[in-house]
Structure 1
Amino acid sequence: MTTARLATWNINSVRTRLELVDQFIREAAPDILCLQETKVQDHMFPVKFFAERGYEHAALAGQKAYHGVATFSRIPFENRGRIDWCGKGDARHVEVVLPGGVALHNFYVPAGGDEPDAAINDKFAHKLDFLDEMTRWSEDLPKDGKHILVGDLNIAPLEQDVWDHKKLLKVVSHTPIEVERMKDLQVAHDWQDVMRQFVPEEEKLYSWWSYRARDWQAANKGRRLDHIWVSPALKDTPRSMQVMEDARGWERPSDHAPVLVDFEF
């Protein structure tokens, strides 16, 4: 039996926010830390910073100035590398295998731009293509396999995953076509939504608050863009879940808050 605290966090430039990462590690003490939007090439990644804090195992997928994911762990793992989704060369995925054969997939799904119309917005078309490719990949995963999928998926699928369902129906991240694509993805491998195992669907649940709000906490116009899913074989392994909202209020924060889940597998 392995007990592990896993965290996923869109850090929005890891080198800019190393002090926040340090604070988060001290306060939350995750065993495994999955970062997205790291915005740094692999050879320039501050790996030593993480190793000094006990995260000796690293899997990086980075590129200059954009995108990027990284998985750090105090628990040994096998680095399976990345998939080049949609053949664009973007650093948006890395896979590692934890003890017991648990495959952990760290994703950063394209945001999709501002206009939710694939015919006129290439970024939105890319997002839909990316989700379709993820769905086909999910269908091919062994049905009895042990998989965890985490990251910034850039979709808030449920009505209570956004501050106002009706007002956001035409806003990228909550449009019907994106929500439908995410449902297809979930069904493709019967992915289990871990966060909603702990917070009922009828309750509000956010992980992202825009920089545009002068007082993000008072306005509380959030969205749940960050997710942790497990395959059916692991559905009974999560023990607790927390969105660490306090981190959104730290100095020079990311617009995302970390999500933590304690596992026993």
Structure 2
Amino acid sequence: MSDRLTLATWNINSVRLRMPIVEKFLEEVQPDVLCLQETKCPDANFPFGALRKAGYEHIEIHGQKGYHGVATVSKRPLTNVEKRGFCDMGDSRHLGVDVEFAGAPLRVHNLYVPAGGDEPDPEINPKFRHKLDFLAEMKGWLKGEETARPAVLVGDLNIAPYEHDVWSHKALLKVVSHTPLECALFEELRESGGWIDMMRRFLPMDEKLYTWWSYRAKDWSAADKGRRLDHVWVSQPLEGAMRSTSVLRDARGWEKPSDHAPVIAVFEA
């Protein structure tokens, strides 16, 4: 008997502020698992009730007041919960859980990587240094045992690594999220653990692929100056179960939207 799992990831940019569109998304898409980033919500104020009413009984959160925060909500039980810290900062940026898929545990890592500020120079910008250090810690961790099992890593990783992950490769080479330094470290991190870039597995490298559009653009869709900041990585043991990925671009135009669109990944085994 086969099993089909739909997993979505979405930087929601304040879960309490965006609950109407979260509910709309859950009703329309019905993912089995939704990973949220930038929830900006202390654990005590998290909207458990609305999510359970929507059919998502299993909820794990790692939040803090006003900043960062990740949450994983699911129709299936979540076990083996892990909340990893990075760079001794005390930030809520990671949540690991197991969810049953095809009769075995599937590890799901939900991550929110630091944005890195505006100046792409670690010597004068502590935020950029923090981002590079964060990626280095990820590289030291996300290999070996973590990738020897079926695992998915999703989230707002705040880097658009390839030429067609941004609206203009040339214009953004010195813009944080697409600098050569970040992109090289990002690829080293992914390749060192043997992670598969699932989104690019289903969409050729020469096609544009975006998940984020700035609030600054008056007509974001017409201007289409996007970046792919949200990712789905898959460990080698899960490769055969990959079926599809998609970006729900329309959600960027919903009422009071996040500046990110949800990414949906489907697995079947």
TM bucket (normalised to shorter chain) is over 0.9
The correspondence for 2:130, drawn from 109, 123, 126, is 126
**1:198 and 2:202 are equivalent in the alignment:** yes
Residue in 2 aligned with 1:80? 81
Q: Do the aligned partners of residues 143 and 258 (structure 1) sit closer, same or farther apart at CA in structure 2, a change above 3 Å counting?
A: closer
Query: Cα RMSD over matched residues?
Result: 1.0
SS at match of 1:72: strand
The correspondence for 2:105, drawn from 70, 94, 101, is 101
CA distance in 2 between counterparts of 1:141 and 1:131 reads 18
CA deviations on 1:27-50 (whole Å, 9 max, x unpaired) are 111110000000001111011111
Residue in 1 aligned with 2:59? 58
CA distance in 1 between counterparts of 2:234 and 2:30 reads 21
Residue in 1 aligned with 2:14? 13
Residue in 1 aligned with 2:261? 257
Q: Offset at 1:143?
A: 4.6
Q: Kindly report structure 1 stretches of 4+ aligned residues shifted beyond 2 Å.
A: 139-144
Q: Offset at 1:134?
A: 0.1
CA distance in 2 between counterparts of 1:167 and 1:47 reads 42
CA deviations on 1:147-175 (whole Å, 9 max, x unpaired) are 10000000000000000001100000000
Q: Offset at 1:139?
A: 2.8
The correspondence for 1:168, drawn from 168, 172, 177, is 172
**1:207 and 2:208 are equivalent in the alignment:** no
1:141 alignment partner AA = E
Q: Is the 8 A contact 1:3 1:264 kept in 2?
A: yes
Q: Is the 8 A contact 1:11 1:254 kept in 2?
A: yes
SS at match of 1:141: helix
CA distance in 1 between counterparts of 2:169 and 2:213 reads 15
SS at match of 2:136: helix
Which 10-residue stretch deviates more, 100-109 or 72-81? 72-81
Q: Is the 8 A contact 1:59 1:79 kept in 2?
A: no
CA deviations on 1:89-124 (whole Å, 9 max, x unpaired) are 100000001111211000000000000000000000
Q: Structure 2 stretches of 5 or more lacking a match?
A: none
CA distance in 1 between counterparts of 2:146 and 2:72 reads 23
Q: Is the 8 A contact 1:141 1:189 kept in 2?
A: no
SS at match of 1:85: coil
**1:230 and 2:234 are equivalent in the alignment:** yes
CA distance in 2 between counterparts of 1:2 and 1:42 reads 32
CA distance in 1 between counterparts of 2:144 and 2:50 reads 37
CA distance in 1 between counterparts of 2:154 and 2:241 reads 15
1:25 alignment partner AA = L
Which 10-residue stretch deviates more, 106-115 or 236-245? 236-245
CA deviations on 1:184-225 (whole Å, 9 max, x unpaired) are 111111100010111101100000000011100000000000
Q: Is the 8 A contact 2:12 2:258 kept in 1?
A: yes
Q: How many residues align?
A: 265
CA deviations on 1:5-40 (whole Å, 9 max, x unpaired) are 100000000000100101111111111000000000
CA distance in 1 between counterparts of 2:143 and 2:55 reads 36
CA deviations on 1:54-90 (whole Å, 9 max, x unpaired) are 1111110000000000000001120422001111110
Q: Is the 8 A contact 2:147 2:195 kept in 1?
A: no
Q: Is the 8 A contact 1:13 1:40 kept in 2?
A: yes
Residue in 1 aligned with 2:190? 186
Q: Offset at 1:53?
A: 1.2
Q: Offset at 1:140?
A: 3.8
Residue in 2 aligned with 1:92? 93
Q: Offset at 1:237?
A: 1.2
SS at match of 1:197: helix
CA distance in 2 between counterparts of 1:96 and 1:151 reads 14
